[in-house]
Structure 1
């Protein structure tokens, strides 16, 4: 990657990144065209290759930006600064939707990246994805207040079930266009409230 990219005005950088996130989110790596990304971001193809030496260079930069921007928003929304599991989910959702308002296809790209089959990037993406997922899960289970949950709940199975449900919902939304972060936030908030009634103890169960 050419450092000259960072000398561009912030809005132009954002336009290039958003065009690239959209293109890679909507097509597999091999079928994604740098010409399309250049057209959508209103720069010449030669200039795009000046900033990023090839498609893989651009793709991996996008991936590192997903990780970095997600980390910053998790901190900004204090996602892990509570012991209430469902409040963590709410804060995480708000942070994701805030990011999607700036970069509509960022999370669609990250989900597409997870299932990418291109050998030159597949292992790197999946290895990092699993490492980050395991690290996040460890922090969550270290901090949550387990006494809030109903007895005999398998917390790890619950955690996986909720993540799968949220990913499935996100995939269905990303297949529609345009992506509407406010709609996503409202509908997942409703799901979180539903899960909370299922998995948390009611007040009269606390002494049971």
Structure 2
């Protein structure tokens, strides 16, 4: 992408970003129209492609933007002194879900990106997703007491499984047209956490 995009005023950057999130959230990658994005942002299509080399460049910028929004939301939480894996997971889940329920297009875009398959952008998205899961584990779980886990249990795989379950849950709600309520998701998420805790932790930590 063209770095001149970041010299725009925050208001104009937000207008372009939000327009693109809306169009990509409502359509699969192939049918998301850059004409619609430009019109919603109040700029010409030529200017849109001046800032972003092509449609894929714009999409991957949105992916990185969504990830940074989520990371920022999580990092604003009080995580000092949290050494329990599942406690940290719950704090992070609440923070991310609060953001996503406040920003529905960010939620819908994130779900579409997570499930992107067979599209022009899919390979690049999946590569980013795999790297993000690995990077997130190293960053957020550095203070966790892993001695609580039973031998042979892989905490990184638990992170992936809980992520997949949450994304699948939200995708199912979206496809069914059911409103995504934060407290409902967290109630179900707590049940999954408890199930995995019993499987993963040594008896003395249950």
TM-score w.r.t. length of structure 1: 0.73
The structural deviation recorded for 1:80 is 8.1
For residues 139 and 194 of structure 2, what CA distance do their matches in structure 1 show? 23
1:190 to 184, 187, 192: 187
User: Contact 2:83–2:145 at 8 Å: present in 1 too?
Assistant: yes
1:95-117 CA deviation, whole Å, 9 max, x = no partner? 32343366432243233224242
Aligned equivalent of 1:52: 52
1:40-59 CA deviation, whole Å, 9 max, x = no partner? 33333333233323212211
Structure-2 change in CA distance of 1:63 and 1:162 (3 Å): closer
What root-mean-square deviation, in Å, do the aligned CA atoms of Structure 1 and Structure 2 show? Answer: 3.4
Structure-2 change in CA distance of 1:193 and 1:26 (3 Å): same
Aligned equivalent of 2:85: 85
Structure-2 change in CA distance of 1:7 and 1:159 (3 Å): closer
Aligned equivalent of 1:126: 126
Structure-2 change in CA distance of 1:188 and 1:154 (3 Å): farther
Structure-2 change in CA distance of 1:28 and 1:77 (3 Å): same
What stretches of structure 1 of length at least 5 have no aligned partner? none
Matches within 5 A, 1:1-208: 1-78=1-78, 82-100=82-100, 103-114=103-114, 115-119=116-120, 121-138=121-138, 143-146=143-146, 154=153, 156=155, 158-175=158-175, 183=181, 185-200=182-197, 206=204
For residues 30 and 2 of structure 1, what CA distance do their matches in structure 2 show? 23
What stretches of structure 2 of length at least 5 have no aligned partner? none
1:59-98 CA deviation, whole Å, 9 max, x = no partner? 1221222233333333222558622223222322233234
User: Contact 1:23–1:37 at 8 Å: present in 2 too?
Assistant: yes
Structure-2 change in CA distance of 1:163 and 1:4 (3 Å): closer
